[in-house]
Each structure stands twice: as structure tokens, then as C-alpha cells.
């Protein structure tokens, strides 16, 4: 059995304001990062009054860097033609390489104003929390079915059905619930192709007549065709007719589709980030201020972006700019960071940590 992954990316709605799990996990990451940095500052006798300002620097640096990284490296032609779209961050499009560069820039600017917190000393501590935030962000990508993996016939492959929630919302008819089940064995289908039966509960009036059912089908089909997120995961939808009446308050509609099982590459990266955060924290805990400045940042760059280079082989291409390239944009951007990490470890290996005034 494949893993049918069917969460609703929307956590809750307040009026016209939609709160998604991705945003919650992103905010949670910064909250945990703040608490961890407070702990490290206390352990090393640094002034806690600087932390509120530091958090603001980090948030701005991360968001601005991630957005500009996506716009400049993954779809530059579109954003050159539509520069105002750069500001539409709610439409998606953040790049981890840009986020890392933004973090480094934010730490550099902050450290210039705080002489008792040298740049490399600061980024070593931020490296720990950056890996932790990265793990939570990748879980958010997993819930949203973003940064998808390549198809796989392995039994741990994940069928992402959460984009269907967007398709149903696009029909204009609010669904009460949605459940999915594997509809038999894939048989002679291509590896990774999974027949799926989807049960959706609607208000009875949405499906009680043939005309209303046809309207629902047409609007859902149009929403599916217009969804760049749903199409890579689910083939054309077919309705089973007539609808199954669940009760006086709901009517069940059955849909059939061929879905694609994919590598859960978001979880691969989340696991790497979490393990890296623990590893860096343990090194800091053992050596503390005795660490050569840049030692933790160097390890982060080598492990995080080295693993990113390898895991890119299990990812679908996300931008037309990569067409025909031997390596992806993510791999190309990872190389300088790995080189920076190697340089830091080689040059700082036997350099004692300078005292911080």
C-alpha cells in the first residue's frame, strides 16, 4: 500500500483570512529559534536586550532573501516582466539558498552594530536555529505538496491528495469532508501510478439533481485543469453517478482518479535539517565559546547543502530554466555554499576562538 496523504493545507479560516499550516510552522520555527537563542545567549553571558532586534533582523533577512532568491534564480524572466509580482509573497515562491544568503546578510549588518558579537560567532549560533527552522518549513512543504519528489514504485511512496482540497474549493461548493482510499492494485499500470477512490461529502442540494451534479463536475474539472499544483499528482477526475446519500445533512460523491506516488523528498530534507540542528547544538553544548568562529557555519554549509545536492536527484524540476541542464538550479546554487563550508573548516580548524569583548 502506498501512503495516501490527504491533509487540508488550511488550518483555519477567520472571515476572509485564511491561515495555513505552512505559515503556522514557519512562525513556530522562529518562535523556537528565539527561545533557543535566548538560552545560548544566557549560557555565554551575552546581553538579552539585543535579542528582539536580532529576531527582527533575522525575519526580514530570511523572508527578503528567500523571496529574491526565488525570483532571481528560478523564474527571472517572469519577474522582470512583472516586477510588482515580487511583492506578492502570499502567492508562494521562497528559495532556501536565498534565505541562507539573507540570514548571513542580516547577521553581518547586526554584528556591525554589536562589537561584542562578531559576525562568525553570531552565525555559528544562528546556524543551529536555521537548521531547526528548515526542518519545520520542509514539513510545511510536505503538507502543501510543494517541492515534490520524482515518481517511485516503492511502497513508501506518497500520493499527495491535499491539492484536491483547492480543486474542491475552486468548485464554489464547500465540502464537508474528503477521504481517499486506494482502489485496488496498480496491476499493469506504470510504477508509482495508483488508482484512488475519493469520497467527498457535500451539502445535499449540491448533488440532488442531474443538472446540479453536472454543474459540480464541470466546475471541479475546470478548477483541476487550472491548478498547477493538482495536475502533477492526480489525473483527470471521474464521477461515479448517482451520488451516495449519506444522511439528511450530507450527500456523498465518489470520484475516481489515477494518482502518482512520489518520493517524500520534503521529509528527507526535514530529517536532515533536524539531525543537523541536533548535531550542531551538541557540538556547541560541548565546546561553547571555545569553538573557532565559523566552525558551526562550515559544518552547516557542507552537510545541509551537500545533502541538498544529492536529494535534488529525487526532486521534480520546478522551473523551465533548468530544462536541458545536467544539474538543477538547486544543485548549482548548493556548490558555492559547500565550498564556503570547506573553506571555513580548513582555515579556521586550528584557529582559537577570539575573545568577545
Residue 247: pLDDT band with limits 50, 70, 90: low
**What confidence score (pLDDT) does residue 345 get?**
93
Percent of the chain at pLDDT > 70 equals: 88
Q: Contact, 104 vs 300, CB < 8 A?
A: no
Work out the average pLDDT over 214-236: 76
**What confidence score (pLDDT) does residue 187 get?**
54
Query: Could you state, in order of their start, the residue ranges of all structural domains in the chain?
Result: 3-150+264-348, 158-262
Q: Taking 80 as the threshold, does the pLDDT of residue 170 lie above it?
A: no
Q: Taking 90 as the threshold, does the pLDDT of residue 336 lie above it?
A: yes
More confident residue, 224 or 347: 347
Work out the average pLDDT over 273-284: 97
Residue 355: pLDDT band with limits 50, 70, 90: very low
Spatial CA neighbour of 341 closest among 291, 308, 305: 305
Going by DSSP bridges, is the β-strand pair 193-202/250-262 parallel, antiparallel, or unpaired?
antiparallel
Going by DSSP bridges, is the β-strand pair 177-182/158-160 parallel, antiparallel, or unpaired?
unpaired
Work out the average pLDDT over 241-254: 66
3-state SS class at 328: coil
Q: Contact, 308 vs 269, CB < 8 A?
A: yes
Residue 60: pLDDT band with limits 50, 70, 90: very high
Spatial CA neighbour of 342 closest among 310, 307, 309, 295: 295
Grid coordinates standing for 229?
499544483
Q: Taking 60 as the threshold, does the pLDDT of residue 164 lie above it?
A: yes
Q: Where are the alpha helices (DSSP H) in 13-50?
A: 21-43
Q: Which residues pair with 151 in a beta bridge?
A: 262
More confident residue, 228 or 247: 228
pLDDT, averaged across the chain: 85
The whole-model pTM stands at 0.85
Of the options 1.10.1060, 3.30.980, 3.30.420, 1.20.120, the CATH number for the domain spanning 158-262: 3.30.980
Q: Taking 60 as the threshold, does the pLDDT of residue 258 lie above it?
A: yes
**Top-ranked range on mean pLDDT: pick from 21-30, 172-181, 243-252:** 21-30
**What confidence score (pLDDT) does residue 354 get?**
47
Amino acid at each position: 500500500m502506498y501512503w495516501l496523504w490527504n491533509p487540508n493545507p488550511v488550518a483555519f479560516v477567520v472571515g476572509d483570512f485564511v491561515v495555513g499550516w505552512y505559515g503556522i510552522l514557519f512562525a513556530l520555527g522562529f518562535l523556537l529559534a528565539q527561545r533557543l537563542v535566548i538560552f545560548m545567549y544566557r549560557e555565554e553571558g551575552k546581553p538579552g536586550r539585543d535579542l528582539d532586534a536580532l529576531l527582527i533582523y533575522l525575519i526580514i533577512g530570511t523572508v527578503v532573501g528567500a523571496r529574491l532568491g526565488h525570483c532571481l534564480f528560478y523564474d527571472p524572466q517572469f519577474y522582470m516582466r512583472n516586477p510588482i509580482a515580487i511583492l506578492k509573497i502570499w502567492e508562494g515562491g521562497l528559495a532556501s539558498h536565498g534565505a541562507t544568503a539573507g540570514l548571513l546578510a542580516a547577521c553581518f549588518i547586526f554584528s556591525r552594530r554589536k562589537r561584542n558579537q562578531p559576525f562568525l560567532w553570531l552565525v555559528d549560533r544562528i546556524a543551529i536555529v536555521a537548521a531547526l527552522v528548515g526542518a519545520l518549513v520542509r514539513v510545511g512543504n510536505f503538507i502543501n505538496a510543494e517541492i515534490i519528489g520524482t515518481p517511485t514504485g516503492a511502497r513508501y511512496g506518497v500520493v499527495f491528495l491535499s491539492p484536491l482540497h483547492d480543486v474542491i474549493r475552486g468548485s464554489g461548493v464547500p465540502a464537508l469532508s474528503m477521504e481517499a482510499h486506494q482502489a485496488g492494485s496498480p496491476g499493469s499500470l506504470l510504477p508509482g501510478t495508483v488508482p484512488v477512490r475519493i469520497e467527498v461529502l457535500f451539502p445535499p442540494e449540491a448533488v440532488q439533481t442531474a443538472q446540479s451534479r453536472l454543474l459540480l463536475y464541470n466546475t471541479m474539472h475546470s478548477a483541476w485543469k487550472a491548478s498547477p499544483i493538482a495536475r502533477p499528482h492526480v489525473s483527470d477526475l471521474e464521477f461515479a453517478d448517482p451520488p451516495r446519500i449519506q444522511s439528511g445533512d450530507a450527500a456523498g460523491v465518489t470520484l475516481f482518479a489515477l494518482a502518482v506516488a512520489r518520493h517524500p523528498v520534503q521529509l528527507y530534507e526535514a530529517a536532515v535539517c533536524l539531525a543537523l540542528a541536533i548535531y550542531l547544538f551538541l557540538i556547541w553544548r560541548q565546546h561553547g565559546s571555545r569553538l573557532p568562529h565559523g566552525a558551526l557555519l562550515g559544518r552547516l554549509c557542507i552537510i545541509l547543502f551537500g545533502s541538498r545536492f544529492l536529494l535534488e536527484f529525487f526532486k521534480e524540476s520546478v522551473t523551465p530554466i533548468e530544462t536541458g541542464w545536467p544539474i538543477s538550479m538547486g544543485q548549482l546554487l548548493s556548490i558555492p555554499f559547500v565550498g564556503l563550508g570547506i573553506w571555513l573548516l580548513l582555515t579556521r580548524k586550528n584557529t582559537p576562538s577570539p575573545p568577545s569583548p
